[in-house]
Chain A
């Protein structure tokens, strides 16, 4: 019973989601590095106007990233559940 549950979890949820999770994490990690780069540039006296432009770019990219990757996870689950239900019928 338990084996069936865990193998189902692995095959139907964890395995498909883990690849997406890794890719999403990689992109977010790059954005974190981008933010640290902005901080380093500020400490080195880089002009404020340029830094502000970088910060705005960071904000925009983070916003799009959250929306798109979040939407991907949600839709993947929704379509997964719908598909399971459809195949049963």
Chain B
């Protein structure tokens, strides 16, 4: 995990893994929770196999449906793990604007399911840039100021 680029959400869900799996892999269910209401989500493709396409559209304020996500499944392990990326589109074709890979896991837990979502992001800038930045004393100051600014919210 790279704390600057990656994030993980862990959640205990009071339902068995097979229900979580269904909510994730049944397009009609997925549409219900993937994006926040009142926006509407429409699944165009959900091919649950490595290389399969995951494509959605969304509609806001009653407007027309527009492309939302175009991704490719990398791993699909029933009731256990889903990995997908938008660095590829369906059929392993390289995507125009790669940004992230997501790893979804679900495991049995005494209270139901322990669900985890990890999103690993491409560095929006050149990787060497960040490394170089660290060598500048001044950058530390900027980062500190930034941290304070952010903490104040």
Are A and B part of the same complex? Answer: no
B residues within 8 Å of A by Cβ? Answer: none
